[in-house]
Amino acid sequence: MIRVLVADDQELVRAGIVATVNAQPDMTVVAEAPNGAQAAESVAETGPDVILMDVRMPGTDGIEATRRILAEDPAQRVLVLTTFDEDEHVHAALRAGACGFLVKDAPIDELTAAIRAAARGDAVLSPAITARIVEQLLGSLPPAGQTPAGAADVLTERELEIVCLVAEGLSNAEIGRTVHLSEATIKTHVGRVLTKLGLRDRVQIAVWAHRTGTARWPRSSSGHAGPQS
């Protein structure tokens, strides 16, 4: 069972999320919190696998709570809940170490899939808003069509391609279907990218890709990188 902590100051919203999570056969809510301070305290007491963290809460908000939780246990998985008009909060959440973000009006299947992904150790990047948020966070990017300086010396052609697809918000399974490799192989490649670049998770891969221009690095005309390394 995936153990979930739900932090949201709006009682009705929190109750809806709790009901949705508890309705899943592989999930259970182990704690609720109306603010960030109580959420941080509950983590040590209940040991959740995934924390659903609202941003705007009285007292200690979700961003500060995320910082506190990850300072105590960097392995915790925090999914930040936001709305489309809160881009600045999403930026702060990613910098605080959140493994991803969801919009509050996301469909139930998207919410539950995100929880499962977070529990597996994946980052949750919503393709609908990832590109816009990263663009706003990082400002101007290098011109399209240029491989970022030094990237070719660090990553293989295949790894560069996978980095591009991660930056587009694709899951390991979706990347595997795109490049015709198994999900396990993609996971191995992503792990190598993290090690080579000294990054923590897929969110940081996406940010790195946009910051360096790798996200605009051209794949071959067939849609795949050349070497199959």
Q: Where are the beta strands (DSSP E) in 83-152?
A: 100-103
Q: Do domains 2-124 and 139-216 have the same CATH topology?
A: yes
User: According to CATH, what is the number of the domain 2-124?
Assistant: 3.40.50.2300
CA distances from 110 to 4, 105, 117, 127, 160 (A): 16, 10, 10, 12, 27
Radius of gyration, CA atoms only, the chain: 18
pLDDT, average across residues 209-220:
68
C-alpha span between 68 and 87 (Å, rounded): 21
pLDDT, average across residues 76-85:
80
For 178-207, the pLDDT digits (tens) are 999 998 899 899 989 988 888 877 877 887
Which band of pLDDT confidence, cut at 50, 70 and 90, is reported for residue 69? very high
Decide which of 194 and 95 is more confident: 194
pTM of the model: 0.65
Q: Which CATH architecture has domain 139-216?
A: 3-Layer(aba) Sandwich (3.40)
Cβ–Cβ < 8 Å for 114, 79: yes
pLDDT at 145: 44
Decide which of 201 and 129 is more confident: 201
Task: Report the amino acid identity of residue 158.
Answer: R
pLDDT at 141: 43
C-alpha span between 190 and 202 (Å, rounded): 8
pLDDT, average across residues 216-222:
51
Decide which of 35 and 128 is more confident: 35
C-alpha span between 177 and 42 (Å, rounded): 39
Which band of pLDDT confidence, cut at 50, 70 and 90, is reported for residue 44? confident
Dihedral sign computed on CA atoms, order 65, 67, 71, 73: positive
Closest residue by Cα to residue 80 from 58, 59, 57, 46: 57
C-alpha span between 176 and 4 (Å, rounded): 28
pLDDT, average across residues 29-45:
94
Which band of pLDDT confidence, cut at 50, 70 and 90, is reported for residue 83? confident
Calculate the average pLDDT of the chain: 81
Render the burial of 165-191: b for 16+ CB within 10 Å, e for the rest. bbbbbbbbeebbebbebeeeebbebbe
pLDDT at 142: 44
Partners of residue 124 on adjacent β-strands: 100
Each domain of the chain, given as residue ranges in start order, spans: 2-124, 139-216
For 140-193, the pLDDT digits (tens) are 444 444 445 555 568 898 999 999 898 887 888 889 999 999 988 998 999 899
Is 17 a residue whose pLDDT tops 60?
yes
Which band of pLDDT confidence, cut at 50, 70 and 90, is reported for residue 129? low
Decide which of 30 and 104 is more confident: 30
Which band of pLDDT confidence, cut at 50, 70 and 90, is reported for residue 86? low
